[in-house]
Amino acid sequence: MLTDYSLKMPKNIHAGEHALEQLEEILSDDIQKIVIFTDKGLLKLGLVDVPIKIIEEKGINYTILSDIPAEPNYHQAQTMIDEFKKEKADFIIAVGGGSVMDVAKLASILATDEYTVKDLLENPLLAKKQVTSLMIPSTAGTGAEATPNAIVGVPEKDLKIGIVNSEMIADFVLLDGRMTKDLPKPIAASTGVDALCHAIECFTSAKANPISNTFALEALDLIMNNIIEACTNPDALDAKRKMLLGSFYAGIAITASGTTAVHALSYPLGGKYHIAHGVSNAILLTPVMKFNEPVIKDLLAVAYDRVVKDGDKELSVDKKSTYMINQLEIIVKVLEIPTSLKTFNVPEEDLDGLVAAGMEVTRLLVNNKREVTPEDARNIYLQIM
Ligand SMILES: NC(=O)c1ccc[n+]([C@@H]2O[C@H](COP(=O)([O-])OP(=O)(O)OC[C@H]3O[C@@H](n4cnc5c(N)ncnc54)[C@H](O)[C@@H]3O)[C@@H](O)[C@H]2O)c1
Ligand SMILES: [Zn+2]
């Protein structure tokens, strides 16, 4: 475990049944222009209606930018930011999943012509916060509302790359259960498993520490005990609210520690085949946990004691650890998320390229407690081919 550690997080967080209404108090009279980042689907679903109503009642000028594709590459993110710059906004609201929030976070530090997203891919720390930002997540989720990260596709590398700069951390976060109430099951499932991965990876990360463990364990408890109910029962509002909180906590855990080989090996699957982020993590979750098991058993046993409400505390570490990995596998299966790359017609001859691209994600591979050699990465990818 790390001996020195710290945490940066959003300054103002409102959660609960009426968190959206807090916007009224947050929007001060000196705000001249708001840009709302969202996507077309969410606009159509009316998920931006409450914020728009509050902004209009306050008489503040606003523009909606909704041309954000799911999982944008850096060119697409830059196009949106160029649009944003024309608006000369002094307040950003993001309503959406990780794709929308990540673009909005980049915009909050790229409001002038000084730097581009491409510059940040080379040196993420160049830019400073320029515009106040408020995040309203609509998936539960990436936890992007909590993190200093923005993930963009880099087509020329067939990879997704995380830009990490604490200046991107949101100033305000509103966690409102209404946002995820009608999430379609496949999206709820894959984004929920993404949050699950954040929690279990951060708890077993080489960068884990007392602060990140506090959030990762609580996130794991909330997510493992609510994900199936939240994804399969449209009326399970309490479970959905707990997922939203769990994914936020898991985002804080990412900020305080870091994800590991599940996310590292998943980036080429998103970058090259455009497999949704949550799905590619779900595919890798069990194989990577089994690979890591010899060195994380004790931690999985601690997680068992916390998460399994009717568990037997007297069980051996081996049994607790096996139980936890089985549960992760069961969650992915019950939620009917693909467990193999066969679903995406990935040819076996791509294996070498996948291994090479996965091994490039050293930012996250160094967090994996068991060293991942190219041979190990190849074996893991082979298992999911
Ligand atoms: N910044 C971070 O810390 C971080 C962490 C993990 C992942 N990510 C990134 O976030 C992106 C993925 O975000 P995501 O998983 O939230 O999905 P997403 O934002 O890509 O959204 C997926 C789809 O779900 C739809 N959707 C979202 N909310 C909905 C709702 N409430 N009802 C109906 N439809 C809804 C969207 O319109 C979109 O079509 C990826 O690019 C990933 O790499 C970022
Ligand atoms: Zn993730």
- Domain boundaries in the chain? 12-179, 185-384
Q: pLDDT, tens digit, for every residue of 236-278?
A: 999 999 999 999 999 999 999 999 999 999 999 998 999 999 9
Q: Is the CB of 151 under 6 A from ligand 1?
A: yes
Q: Looking at ligand 1, which residue's alpha carbon is closest to its atom 32?
A: 183
Tell whether the model's pLDDT for residue 2 goes beyond 80.
Answer: no
Q: pLDDT, tens digit, for every residue of 143-170?
A: 999 999 999 999 998 888 999 999 999 9
Q: Is the CB of 165 under 6 A from ligand 1?
A: no
Q: Is the CB of 255 under 6 A from ligand 1?
A: no
Q: What is the pLDDT of residue 108?
A: 98
Which ligand has the shortest distance to the CA of 102?
1
Q: Is the CB of 149 under 6 A from ligand 1?
A: yes
Which ligand has the shortest distance to the CA of 186?
1
Q: Looking at ligand 1, which residue's alpha carbon is closest to its atom 24?
A: 187
What kind of architecture, by CATH, is found in domain 12-179?
3-Layer(aba) Sandwich (3.40)
Taking the centre of ligand 2 as the mean of its atom positions, its distance from the CA of residue 108, in whole angstroms, is 21
The b-or-e profile of 19-53 (16+ CB within 10 A means b, else e) is bbebbeebbeeebeebbbbbbeebbeeebbebbbe
Fold entry, domain 185-384: Dehydroquinate synthase-like, alpha domain (1.20.1090)
Q: Is the CB of 282 under 6 A from ligand 1?
A: no
pLDDT average, residue stretch 181-196 = 97
Which ligand has the shortest distance to the CA of 72?
1
Establish whether domains 12-179 and 185-384 are of one fold: no
Q: What is the DSSP string of 333-376?
A: HHTT---SGGGGT--GGGHHHHHHHHHT-HHHHTTBSS---HHH
